[in-house]
Each structure stands twice: as C-alpha cells, then as structure tokens.
Amino acid sequence: MTHGPTFYPSTGRCIYCKVEGVRLSDEHIVPYSLGGCHVLREASCDSCAKITSRFELKIARGLWGQARQSFGATSRRKNKWAKTQFVPDGENIGRTQAVPNEEVPAVFTFYKMPPAGILLGLDETFDTLPSWTMAVIADSGRQEQFERKYGFKPAVGFRHQPQEFGQLLLKIGYGQALTHLDCQDFEAICVPYILGTKPNISWLVGTNMQEPEALPDFGYSSRTKAFGTTELLYIISDIKLWANTFMPWYHAVVGRVQGRDKVRDVLDKLANTNTSIDNSPTN
C-alpha cells in the first residue's frame, strides 16, 4: 500500500502521441483530484495533457464535484472551496439551504455497464454505451441527520458524463499497465479512445462480473492482467476507484500483443512483477 507519492521514470516521449523533444509533464495515473499518488514522470506532452485534463476535470467537478467537496477529497484548489454548499430541496423547487460541507449528504454516482465489447467479440463499431445505467452510493446516516436537522429531503447534484468516465478508466488503465510494461511491449489500442479520435469507449471498458466489495484500507486499487492465447494477448487493467465503498471493479482493455515471442516476453514480465498499485484512503 502506498502512503505517499510513488514515481515511475520517464521514457523521454509522450505516452500518448509518442512525440519526443518537447516539454513533457508528469502524469498521475489516477488523477490527483481523486486521490492519485502514483505518477509517471515526464509522460505527457502539452497537447495530450490538455485532452486528458479536460475529461478528468469533467468527472472531478461534474460527476463527483459535490461529493468530493462534502467529504474533503484532495484538490489543487481545496483552499478556494466554500465552507458551505447551497443544497436544493428535493420536493420544493426553488428552495435552497446553505449547509456546511461536512453535513451535505452527497452521493457518489457511478456507471454499471456490460463487459468491454472487444471481450464479447463485438465489432469495434458496436456501441453498448446506451445500455449503461447509473447507480449511487449514499451515506444513509448523514442523510438521516440532514433531514432531522433541516426538515427536507435534499436533491443531489451531478452531471451525466459516461463518455468522459470511460475515457478516464482507459487513461487510468493505460497508466497502470505502464508501471509494469514498456510502451514497445504492446500495441496501445486504447490511445485513440483516450484522445477522443475514436468514440466508442464501450468497446474497451466494462464492469467486472463479481459482486463489488469494499476495501476499507484502500482509496483506490488497480492491477494488470493478460487474457488471450499464445499468439494473441490482450493487456487488461482492473480498476476500483473509491475502493473503500461498494463501487464496482471496472476493466479497461488497454493493449494488444501479437506473436508467440512477444506474448511470451510480456507474460514473463507480468509474472515477475507485482502488478497491483493501491493507496491509502487518507492520501
């Protein structure tokens, strides 16, 4: 378990577009705004960083903004957060109440989805995103205390961001794989989806089938695994965000390896390393 920053050395080129000889910035595998403390050194050029920062920001503020503020999550602008939030009355439109952050019964919203289309043998153009459903994790104790104190049922706030959520999973999964493998070890089929040049993110991301379990000692957890044959191998990252809740495990298919020799080399690498990264929920 990581209790502080963990750094991985730079390859001297952008992990996304492969450009060399330009300014490269550090890349948090899990965004800092979500508690990320594993960092790929000098890994992203300015152009690619703008793209990944855009969808990270939409998730951090749009999907989980209220919850992050309520529960004091990490933020580069934390000292600028207001100490209160205006909470709408869920039953009386137009009524709001100023409430201290620590009393707001915010929820963590997430998506449930089928397995990645590529693992189901679906064509790359077959989009299962319309079948994704939303679910929430709520603090029932805080909800009850709020209703007793303020006398109304609060409305929760979030923005529906499925495309950006999928891009975030792919970006995390790709970074996770690069903590154990080199860029030249596999074909990074996830990159066009991360950068938005290919739209069907459901082809590469999905929900794991097992029942979700809470991991009380972790803020997030991820691991790398491989699936395939001796001739064709897929590199897959399993990802659990807000791991101390019942949010599900997700998978992101980030790479492909073809050819018996290359497959053997990658399997040897994965067999000889600890393919998991995780952090303390207090980071």
Residue 247 is given by DSSP the state P
Is the confidence at residue 183, as pLDDT, over 80? yes
Q: What is the Cα–Cα distance from 100 to 86, expressed in whole angstroms?
A: 9
Q: What is the average pLDDT value for the chain, to the nearest integer?
A: 90
List, for residues 132-157, the tens digit of each pLDDT value: 999 888 888 888 999 999 999 998 87
Nearest to 180 by CA among 279, 262, 269, 278: 269
* pLDDT at residue 139, rounded to an integer: 82
pLDDT category, 283, cuts 50, 70, 90? Answer: very low
Residue 180 lies in a domain: yes
Q: What is the pLDDT of residues 64-80, one digit of tens each?
A: 888 888 876 666 555 66
pLDDT for 245 equals 80
* 1 domain residue, yes or no: no
pLDDT confidence band for 1 (50 / 70 / 90): very low
Query: Does residue 239 lie within any of the structural domains?
Result: yes
| Count of domains forming the chain | 1
279, 220 contact by CB (below 8 A): yes
Beta bridge partners of 241: 220
CA distance 181 to 275: 10
**Coil, strand or helix at 30:** coil
Question: Does a structural domain hold residue 206?
Answer: yes
Q: Do the domain assignments include residue 200?
A: yes
Question: What is the domain extent for residue 163?
Answer: 6-279
Domain contains 65: yes
Residue 163 to residue 240: CA distance in whole angstroms: 18
For residues 103-117, average pLDDT = 91
Q: Is residue 72 part of a domain?
A: yes
Average pLDDT over residues 247-258: 96
pLDDT in tens, 193-220: 999 999 999 999 999 988 778 787 778 9
- Residue 42 placed within a domain: yes
* The predicted structure's pLDDT at residue 74: 60
Nearest-angstrom CA–CA distance, 55 and 30? 13
Q: Quick one: CA dihedral 98, 102, 106, 109, positive or negative? A: positive
How many angstroms separate the CA atoms of 205 and 96, rounded?
38
Q: Is the dihedral of CA 127, 202, 171, 185 positive or negative?
A: negative
Query: For 264-268, what is the mean pLDDT?
Result: 96
The encoded tokens of residue 250 equal 């997700």
